[in-house]
Amino acid sequence: RSRVFLLAGALYPWQWQWPANLRRFDHIAPAQHAALYSSSRATLNITRREMTASGWCPSGRLFEAAACGAPILSDWWEGLDSFFTPQEEILIVQSAAEVMAALRQNHGELTRMAARAAERTFSEHTGEARAIELLKHFEAARSREVIVPLAQELAA
């Protein structure tokens, strides 16, 4: 069965010989992201080298795709499993063969995986959820006893 792939991002060179079933865009406007992700059988996330080197630095696109119910295939980077559970909420792929195998998976299983990722995104990865988490950290820090450094204590 023939599939059409969409490649979006300015970092992919135009001069490459792309397959005929690939549509290439430098940029997808943010207002069009939801329609794009919602219409995708799956979204492939390839993390930028700088982000993988730092680790713990997910692209906002992961959360957008998950919120739209798109199954996500991604390369591995340090900390990914703290945002999504591999093989349950996100599929880790390391080669073209693994991407193709993932795309051949049962549609129902991909849909269930996407639903689990969407549920986690809405419960843990929204701006509101992050603000609540930050406030809890502030409250914990505020309620701890303040330790006066010995140098200050001796000077007093």
| pTM (two decimals) | 0.84
What residues form DSSP beta bridges with 90? 86
Candidates 3.30.420, 3.30.160, 1.10.8, 3.40.50; correct CATH number of 5-155?
3.40.50
Closest CA to 89 of 123, 132, 128: 123
Q: CA–CA separation, 50 vs 62, rounded Å?
A: 16
Q: What tens digit of pLDDT does each residue of 50-81 get?
A: 888 888 889 999 999 999 999 999 999 999 99
Report DSSP state, residue 23.
Answer: E
Confidence label for 89 from pLDDT (cuts 50, 70 and 90): very high
Domain boundaries, the chain: 5-155
Q: What is the dihedral of CA 138, 143, 149, 152, to 10 degrees?
A: 100
Residue 22: which of 7, 40, 12 has the closest Cα? 7
Q: What is the rounded average pLDDT for all residues in the chain?
A: 91
Nearest Cα to 21, choosing from 43, 42, 5?
Answer: 5
